[in-house]
Amino acid sequence: MDARSSIRVDSDVLIVGGGAAGVAAAIASARHGLNVTLVERYGFCGGGAVAGLSGTVCGLYEATNNVAAGPQQMVFGFADEFCRRLEAMGGLGEPLLYGKTWTRVHDPLVWREAADAMLREAGVRVIFHAVAQSVQMEGDKIEGLSIWTKQGSLDARAQVVIDASGDADVVAMAGLPNFIGDNGAVQNPTMIFRMMGVDVDRFIREYGVDTIMPEKVSAIDPVQA
Ligand SMILES: Cc1cc2nc3c(=O)[nH]c(=O)nc-3n(C[C@H](O)[C@H](O)[C@H](O)COP(=O)(O)OP(=O)(O)OC[C@H]3O[C@@H](n4cnc5c(N)ncnc54)[C@H](O)[C@@H]3O)c2cc1C
């Protein structure tokens, strides 16, 4: 029970989750003149890129056997615009070789500041510390969501609801078809952390310029095998 009455929020587009997908969807929708609300459970946007410290922007460049030719950017559009913004704010490094492709290291704090600025400029209503917790259905259409906030619950209604929760939370709440991984098999989890004071020149001399796991590190230890 919550003795407080719920607050009604009406939008054309309601987006759950402020990770890369939700930020892109929100800004693109608002630039089409739509009234957009984005709800995010944490106090900042970024999802895996910020809360998860994933650290790099992958997927912009061609994967090739001819790495000597240098990075060829293949993905543009919003991702490119966002990267340019990060770059202008000093939050994005030059492309680094990563196996057969290139990746760019970003500063998570700059990522969220860039997202805040672009969401604000596009006129998106952003509600932080807001967790989507149940759906209101009309047949098989999601009419809106009940959202938990510290001020009480929001009764958020929209023409279109976009599930950018990264976990298909809204889809699952609505009982719509969903699945996990490849028949349940998912990528291994990774422990992500940041290091300072690394002697980068010495690292490169030892391991090479390829920033994907060097063989020396990933080779199976014959003692343990
Ligand atoms: C260990 C690991 C390492 C990775 N490394 C990289 C990398 O180096 N470079 C790269 O480009 N990609 C990397 N990725 C992939 C990248 O993190 C994802 O592709 C990306 O985060 C997906 O973005 P998204 O917006 O779909 O979801 P997410 O980033 O997961 O964002 C979802 C957002 O929704 C919010 N949310 C969830 N549920 C609710 C709810 N019920 N109510 C309100 N808000 C909610 C979350 O707080 C979050 O902010 C990595 C992924 C993992 C798991």
Question: Which among 20, 83, 86 is positioned nearest to 54, based on CA atoms?
Answer: 20
User: What's the Cα-to-Cα distance from 82 to each of 24, 85, 113, rounded to whole Å?
Assistant: 9, 5, 11
User: Does the CB atom of residue 169 touch ligand 1 within 6 A?
Assistant: yes
In this predicted model, what pLDDT tens digit does every residue of 21-60 receive, in sequence order?
A: 999 999 999 999 999 999 999 999 999 999 999 889 999 9
Answer whether residue 222 shows pLDDT above 70: no
Please answer whether residues 124 and 37 qualify as being in contact, where contact means their C-beta atoms are separated by less than 8 angstroms: yes
Answer whether residue 125 shows pLDDT above 90: yes
Answer whether residue 145 shows pLDDT above 80: yes
Q: Which two tokens stand for residue 203?
A: 């690292």
In this predicted model, what pLDDT tens digit does every residue of 72-93 receive, in sequence order?
A: 999 999 999 999 999 999 999 9
Q: How much is the pLDDT for 193?
A: 82
Q: How much is the pLDDT for 224?
A: 65
Pocket test for ligand 1, best of 50, 165, 167, 193 (most atoms within 8 A of CB): 165
Between 217 and 113, whose confidence is greater? 113
Q: How much is the pLDDT for 12?
A: 98
Rounded CA gap, 171 and 135, in Å? 9
Decide if 101 is inside a domain.
no
Between 188 and 143, whose confidence is greater? 143
Lowest mean pLDDT among 26-40, 127-141, 171-185, 200-214: 200-214
Please answer whether residues 92 and 104 qualify as being in contact, where contact means their C-beta atoms are separated by less than 8 angstroms: yes
> Which CATH number characterizes residue 20's domain?
3.50.50.60
Q: How much is the pLDDT for 209?
A: 81
Total of domains in the chain? 1
User: Does the CB atom of residue 165 touch ligand 1 within 6 A?
Assistant: yes
Please answer whether residues 132 and 39 qualify as being in contact, where contact means their C-beta atoms are separated by less than 8 angstroms: yes
Atom of ligand 1 nearest to the CA of 189: 1
Q: How much is the pLDDT for 148?
A: 97
By residue range, what is the domain housing residue 156?
Answer: 1-55+107-194
User: What share of the chain has pLDDT > 70, as a percent?
Assistant: 95
Rounded CA gap, 225 and 220, in Å? 7
Ranked by mean pLDDT, which of 166-170, 181-185, 208-212 comes out on top?
166-170
Rounded CA gap, 204 and 211, in Å? 9
Decide if 77 is inside a domain.
no
Decide if 165 is inside a domain.
yes
Decide if 20 is inside a domain.
yes
Q: Which two tokens stand for residue 101?
A: 């492709």
Decide if 181 is inside a domain.
yes
Tell me the whole-structure pTM to 2 decimals. 0.92
Q: How much is the pLDDT for 34?
A: 98
User: Does the CB atom of residue 39 touch ligand 1 within 6 A?
Assistant: yes
Q: What is the mean pLDDT of the chain?
A: 93
Decide if 205 is inside a domain.
no
Q: For ligand 1, atom 20, name the residue with the nearest CA.
A: 48
Decide if 129 is inside a domain.
yes
Q: Which two tokens stand for residue 59?
A: 């997927």
Decide if 87 is inside a domain.
no
Answer whether residue 134 shows pLDDT above 90: yes
